[in-house]
A and B are shown apart, each in its own frame.
Chain A
Amino acid sequence: MGRRRAEATVPVTPFGGRPLGRPPTASWLWCGSEVTGVLFVLPAALLVIGLVAYPFFYALSLSLTAKQAGVPGQFVGLRNFVDLMQGEIFLRTIRNSFVFTGAAVAVKTVLGLGLALLLQRARVGRRAIRGLLLLPWVVPSTLSVLGWWWMFDPLFGVVNLGMLKLGLIGDRIPWLSDPIWAMVAVIIVNVWRGLPFFGISFLAGLVSIPDELYEAAQIDGAGKATCFRRITLPLLRPILGMIVLYSVIMTVSDFNIVYILTRGGPMNSTHLFATFAYEMGLAAGDIGKGAAISLFIFPVLAAVAFLQLRLTRRQPQ
């Protein structure tokens, strides 16, 4: 049909290989007035301003307000934040977020790297395997996490029954009712869901490393471990960084997994910012505090955006 194949044209950086904010220069680009350009972008701009930027500033103002559902709010300065910081549950939430995000991202990185290296060697049937492996990432997490909830059921769940049958455990594990096991469970499910994304992205990075480098290194007598440390890892770093950063923001802001598996419990041991904000702001109706809790995701977002931009700008064209 003369159409270009999509695979070949989709670039490997989220920036389309074009540094941000530097439009291509050609004199014909100027034709059509500035007004035309603005008109093309206007609907998207209005949407972003009205339903992303405005709510963000609204959240800031709500967080400085003592606002219960249904009654007008009252400006209280930073009291919501002070209250939160003095409350045990919020400190617990911060700690949970570090544990959950740190553990999940670390495990996904290591297992994902292993998965990518294995996939690279499995050339026959790679497409089919890749297609199956990606299913946890593709299926809406709300729905698949329901499956995990069922598997973790203490009495009838296949995780306990299976391990009992295999003799791996002598007693049922209280998966979702013990603070530590519950954290383990939500981390397992987050890893399950995110691992394919890591593996397939890393695979794309591996494939783009030229074979000649390995051949040259082999001629020079480098072993496999040296090759991995000196060639694979350094060349994989940009994509590794992008994926890890992206995953940090998506993991720290997770809602679905915790909400469905534990609702933040037992005893707030798995609350993350999003689930605690939901409980405080919507279930308990303290909108000011709820907004304040959500806002704690923002510094993570800012850091991730900043680092990602730096990472892409440094990348060679």
Chain B
Amino acid sequence: MRILRRHAGTIGAYLGLLPYLGFALFPFYWMLLTSLRSNAETYDVANLSFLVQQGVTLQHYGFLFTRSQFPAWVWNTLFVSLAATAISVVISTAAAYGLVRIRFRGSAIFSLGIFITYLVPPTLLFIPLSRVITALGLSDSRLSLVVTYPTFMVPFCTWFLMSYFATVPKELEECAIVDGATRAQVLLRIVLPVAMPGVVTATLFSFTLAWGEFIYATTFIASGTNKTLTAGTVAELIRGDVFFWGPLMAGALLASVPVVIAYGFLMDYYVSGLVSGATKG
């Protein structure tokens, strides 16, 4: 009894967390359930059930791969995310190093500019950007996204890497510079190996940002075959008839998988990244 009383607070805390966990996870569970059971069961209003009772079916997932453009969206998203991430990480690494370690006129202003850009939500600029994309001759192409995604990834990565590079001991670099190494060599051979965890984290974060982007993908790309997973799922899997929920839920879940995997690798970084003000939603 005494033990129970002593731990009452802790037990209470776990009990208190239950509704939070339920609220956070139930939608995913419900999506999974809908994607795995037959229409007959899903649309049986009289018997609401929270389990698969008439056997698991993969028909909704099958639909995605045989009767929708889902496979094309996977490739498009992969291409766009990888390309935009690679470009962003390279640009940001250079910029972050320049801003943290080299003193030059305008660096303070530029740091401020990066910070403000980091707060700019994509919804502020999608209309003028769509004009720019048209002027560049990139409308309806995946390249339009490769070009525009770095606008939100570079400020984020640069910010993140600036704080990371600032923690690399300067003495290492000092020696190399005294020995006549150039700044580029110092960055590539000395700073990057030490700061690798930071670069990997920034890379994975950027990748998940690109993967989940929606408004640019919806605005800049019109044809079904060029769409990304988010835009394609919303625009093409919602069909006129009532019974589209199974494939829609299957598509939404399947499209989330890579992000969740990346997140699994990153969880601890993610938490510290969150706290450093990172990750747009």
A residues contacting B by CB (< 8 A) are 3-7, 9-18, 20-24, 26, 28-32, 34, 36-41, 43-45, 47-48, 51-52, 54-56, 58-59, 62, 111, 114-115, 118-119, 121-123, 127, 129-144, 146-148, 150-151, 153, 155-156, 158, 161-162, 165, 192-197, 199-201, 204, 239, 242, 246, 249-250, 253-256, 260, 273-274, 277-278, 281-282, 287, 290-291, 294-295, 297-298, 301, 304-305, 308-309
- Contact of A59 with B127 at beta-carbon distance under 8 Å, contacts A37-B107, A156-B43, A242-B277 already known: yes
State whether B273 touches A10 (Cβ < 8 A): yes
Q: Which of A7, A24, A121 contacts B9 (CB 8 A)?
A: A121
- Contact of A138 with B128 at beta-carbon distance under 8 Å, contacts A23-B103, A32-B102, A256-B214 already known: no
Q: Which of A9, A114, A253 contacts B123 (CB 8 A)?
A: A253
Which residues of B from 37 to 94 have beta carbons under 8 Å from A? 42-43, 45, 48, 90-92, 94
State whether A155 touches B45 (Cβ < 8 A): yes
Which chain B residues border A204 with CB–CB below 8 Å? 271-272, 274-275
State whether A137 touches B132 (Cβ < 8 A): no
Please, how many residues of chain B have a CB less than 8 angstroms from a CB on the other chain?
Answer: 122
- Contact of A20 with B112 at beta-carbon distance under 8 Å, contacts A9-B164, A304-B119 already known: yes
DSSP majority for the A interface?
helix
Which chain B residues border A12 with CB–CB below 8 Å? 275-276
State whether B249 touches A147 (Cβ < 8 A): yes
Which chain A residues border B123 with CB–CB below 8 Å? 253-255, 273-274, 277, 294, 297
Q: How far is the CA of A41 from the CA of B234 in the complex (A)?
A: 38
State whether B112 touches A29 (Cβ < 8 A): no
Q: Which of B16, B120, B148 has the most CB of A within 10 A?
A: B120
Which chain B residues border A15 with CB–CB below 8 Å? 115, 163
DSSP majority for the B interface?
helix
- Contact of A40 with B97 at beta-carbon distance under 8 Å, contacts A13-B277, A204-B271, A255-B123 already known: yes
State whether B277 touches A246 (Cβ < 8 A): yes
Which chain B residues border A20 with CB–CB below 8 Å? 108, 111-112, 115
State whether B107 touches A133 (Cβ < 8 A): no
State whether B103 touches A29 (Cβ < 8 A): yes
Q: How far is the CA of A38 from the CA of B21 in the complex (A)?
A: 48
24 contacts between A and B (CB under 8 A): A3-B197, A6-B198, A11-B276, A15-B163, A29-B101, A38-B104, A43-B91, A44-B95, A47-B151, A62-B131, A134-B271, A138-B208, A140-B230, A142-B233, A143-B212, A146-B31, A150-B245, A155-B45, A242-B277, A255-B122, A255-B123, A256-B214, A282-B130, A294-B124
